[in-house]
A and B are shown apart, each in its own frame.
Chain A
Amino acid sequence: MKLLLSWLQDYVDFDGSTEALADRLTFSGSEVEAIDEIDGEVVLTIEVTPNRPDCLSIIGIAREVSALVRNPLRIPEVRLAETGPAVESLTSVELQDPERCARYSARVLQNAIVAPAPDWMQRRLELCGVRSINNLVDITNYVLLECGQPLHAFDQSRLTEGRIVVRRAQPGESIQTLDGVDRKLTDDILVIADASNPVALAGIMGGSSSEIQPSTTDILLESAYFDPSGIRRTARVLGLSTESSYRFERGVDVAQVDWASRRAAALMIEHAGARLGAGAIDQWPTKPAARRIACRPNRVRDLMGVEVGDEEIREILTSLELPVEAGADGALVVEVPTFRVDLEIEADVIEEVARIYGLDRIPAPTPRSTLIEAADDAGTRARAELRSQLVGLGLNEVMNYSFLSGGALDRFGTGDRDARVVLPNPISQDQAVMRNRLTPQMVETLGRNRARQTESAALFECGRVFYKGSDGLPNEQDRLAVGMMGRIGRGCLDVARPVESDEMFLWMKGLVESLCRAMHVRDVQVRDTAHPVFEEGFAVDVMIEGACCGQCGILSRAIGEAWRMSDPVAILEIAIQPLLTHVFELPKLNSVPIYPSVLRDMAIIVDQSVRHEDVLRVIHDSAPAELTDVHLFDIYTGKGVGECKKSVAYSLAYQSLETTLTDEAVNAFHAALMNAVVNALNAEIRGN
């Protein structure tokens, strides 16, 4: 809201600089967003919070200033010369909907001369951002800015039968508003009508048919109170927001309706030569009951955390024109004036004390050391540990939006369509579906980085996915996605060879194993699977403690090429929860052996179909207790090993906790083991 400083001075005196005044307003809740000087006048732009419609006027801000500087507020006195006929002989008001219009007042002025408003008035309006039209309309706007009460002036001669009916619009009715737009009306819309047709959208905008014209002489001056929620609904439905609707939908002062009408009438007599009919029609069927709020000074001190005295509390409230009486048990009872629609409970009154007392005067003590029995947030700590381990493993964390387009998901399969959580009111189709997997955005992220000349990357995202359960209700799950591209697992000098899918797959598998170790997950396996997202033969289920919790593998080449990635890209997507269950468990320690281990190699030639896990299984099935470690150190195919065969070499460590193993003992273990492997796998010992 624009506030003209010289206009403010009509109602309250204050000393000091504009900046000091602006600071005091800001720190009492009316934030001054800008101070501008226009044509030698100072204009403040004030952000009024939605709970304070009483501050949407010069007098409203003057009341705040009056409380802050403790100078009296000067409300202009209005004296009316009612020289015309009795208003009842000139018009009538039929109030059909007192719920939507609690009060409606009308005055009639005759013999007015439409002309430009006086210069000073035009200037004030323009500095406050309101365009000058003519004296009559300008006066209604002037009073609106002055006291916050919207007014409307009708050309009475253009009202059928010269009278007013406040009613709901009827189906099929329409109105052309002052902005020239024809608007179809519904029966939820409150209108001001004459004897036959709507002539204004109540509280929002007048109609063209009764607009003040150069030839207008007789005016019906409306001042009313309209129900905030009704105005808000209508303004929203019609997409129309005006200075008037803005105030009505926040709540104007129902008691001020008549003062505003009188104020405008006096200005019309003075500046348009009008003759005012005697009296006013003032339909106000149900006056609001007086509202009282008890405010306990002890509660004020407790909530503010500062020793503010009873007398100071009383002074602050009184300075805000909140009358205070003594209540039971030392309470101060505030009688809430009608302009303070925001004051409902004791806490509201305490806020009044706090903001005028000054938040800067409230101390800021060191945090209290009382301990509250901690809720279990191990899950959050475990997730933080997971992210930290992934960072330690060399991955960059990414964050993508929670929504994407249905088409982007379709690219990764359409079988999940019915279970997707779709937004009925998305911002755009690109953000219309809640993600039910992280992979599509991970691939897109890799692709976007590749397009920007980043050849290698290893990325992860810990994010939430959304899907409908079998009951049709939305569910959520926290997932981890990893994406890798380029020579991410190689040293910088090893760039000549292109990355093979096998190699990339093993990097990803190695990462999964390392991550599981870091999270103390001991039982992790992979199981071959087929999945449309992955290249055939390069996809596995990740099994943690026997349960499948996601997949990893080499991204299907067709999908990768959509982002111009023709080299192997590895993708992992798994549920996070199974990774978190053991992270805070202590490791079970074994004593470190004091006797040396003895190494023996085992190089065998087997069919190419024999898998690493087959060899391990046979070794473990036949191993003596002294076998402590097995690792693969060579795979060879080609010359010397025969068609469809491969040579694999393992290093085996034997060790005893009780004694130093002799060569003879180890040789015996190893020979037995070799024998078992040869028999079980139909293997041939290499070098024999």
Chain B
Amino acid sequence: MNAAEIIALKAQALAEARDATSPQDIEAIRVRYLGRKGALPAIMKSLKDADPVERSEMGKQANLFRQELSSALESKASESESGDTVRTPSRMDTSLPGQWPSRGSRHPISIVIDDITAIFRSMGFTVADGPDIDSEHNNFDALNTPGDHPSRDAHDTFYLDNGDLLRTQTSTVQVRVMESTPPPIRIIAPGRCYRRDTSDATHSANFHQVEGLYVDRKVSLADLKGDITYFAHRLMGPGVQVRFRPHFFPFTEPSVEYDFSCHICKGSGCRVCKNSGWIEISGAGMVDPRVFENVGYDAEAFTGYAFGMGVERIAMIKYGIQDIRHLYDNDVRFLSQFS
């Protein structure tokens, strides 16, 4: 045995001492290493035969072995006597912070779009996409918006020099899809829209919508109600109630607006739902036959429903975000909460 081997044996003995959990263990270790027939007396005996160059180092290490192991066993014994719980053996401070690249986060708008998309995919919808800059035809004309409708005003809509505009709704994608694909179709179109709203707590000139369109034979208002209700249960939980109110949009007839029961107060009234128990979500309706005619669909053979919902609004409702501007402020302290 040389000095290095003594050190290794010491490490083994100390590890055993640390792992000992009972007085019997402690005694067994003492006998095994320090006892008359133990390892250490054997080492001491072997010193006289050792290489003289190594002898002094071996002696020094053997003494250290005895001292360290004795004191380790003593403190272990007193710990055991005092009744303290013997700690789970550990060689490091396991409470140190973990080190692995931290996970990032999706933006809440992305999360909501992904959630909505996943739900409608499960119902057989596919996702369609369209450009942010589109024609007045796709944004207004084809959607049966009267020529002098106020929403067309340059006060509300961003026009470009060439007469195109920044779409004010993702309904443009409806028109694009219907003009290029024969029915039946079942699509949703998430995307960015623009309106000339001065920004405040609930308005942003740049926002996101998810448009939905289902055209087939005999699609009815009942289908719209059923699908929106199913969607509501998947998005907000099975307890949510949905109610429909007649409304008006140029591109649907009949038109409805729908509300979800408030998920915060469950309908009893709170700040989020302004004490009404209901939260207005979006508009929908049966596609106006004139829209079908504009895109060359047989308005007699096919019927369909369409809806458009505001993503920011749903994100604000779901996460209790008070001000829409937080969504575009991109403060890491806000974003990282969506990890």
Contact = CB atoms under 8 A, between A and B. Distances in A.
Interface of A: 26-29, 31, 49-52, 229, 232-233, 236, 302-306, 345-348, 350-351, 354-355, 359-360, 362-372, 374-377, 379-381, 384, 387-388, 390-403, 421-427, 431, 434, 445, 448-449, 452, 454, 457-460, 464, 466, 472-474, 476, 489, 491-493
Interface string B319-338: 00000000111111101100
B330 A398 contact: yes
A362 B222 contact: yes
B237 interface: no
A402 B192 contact: yes
15 contacts: A232-B148, A305-B225, A345-B290, A359-B245, A363-B225, A377-B126, A377-B127, A380-B129, A393-B101, A394-B103, A402-B206, A423-B160, A427-B196, A452-B331, A489-B101
A282 B121 CA distance: 61
Nearest 6 CB-CB pairings of A with B: A305-B222, A305-B220, A29-B246, A351-B254, A49-B248, A364-B225
Contacts of A50: 248
B325 to A, nearest CB: 11
Given A229-B148, A369-B124, A425-B154, A360 B244 contact: yes
Contacts of A304: 220-222
A359 B225 CA distance: 9
Interface stretch (B33-41, B181-189, B261-269): B181-189
Nearest to B253: A347
Most buried by A among B126, B196, B216, B289: B126
Contact of A396 (B228, B245, B336): B336
B107 A26 contact: no
Contacts, number: 227
B282 to A, nearest CB: 15
A179 B199 CA distance: 32
A364 B131 CA distance: 34
Nearest to B107: A397
Given A347-B289, A398-B107, A449-B332, 17 more contacts: A28-B246, A51-B248, A52-B248, A359-B246, A360-B243, A367-B227, A375-B185, A376-B126, A377-B128, A379-B129, A384-B117, A394-B102, A396-B104, A397-B110, A401-B205, A427-B198, A431-B205
Nearest to A445: B330
A476 to B, nearest CB: 5
B330 A399 contact: yes
A118 B123 CA distance: 63
B286 A359 contact: no
A387 B255 contact: no
Contact of B226 (A350, A363, A431, A445): A363
A265 to B, nearest CB: 34
B243 A421 contact: no
B186 A372 contact: yes
Contact of A466 (B128, B132, B242): B132
B247 A49 contact: yes
Contact of B127 (A366, A380, A401, A493): A380
A229 B230 CA distance: 42
Nearest to B128: A375
Most buried by A among B148, B194, B225, B253: B253
A397 B104 contact: yes
A474 B230 CA distance: 40
Interface residues of B, number: 83
A469 to B, nearest CB: 11
B256 interface: yes
A354 B222 contact: no
B133 A466 contact: yes
Given A27-B245, A302-B218, A466-B133, A421 B160 contact: yes
Most buried by B among A28, A347, A348, A391: A347
Contact of A392 (B103, B166, B255): B103
Contact of B159 (A363, A400, A425): A425
Contacts of B245: 26-27, 29, 31, 359
Contact of B303 (A302, A369, A489): A302
Contacts of B160: 421, 423-424, 474
A371 B124 CA distance: 6
Contacts of B181: 375
A362 B221 contact: yes
Contacts of A398: 107, 330, 335
A522 to B, nearest CB: 23
Given A421-B133, A457-B332, A391 B327 contact: no
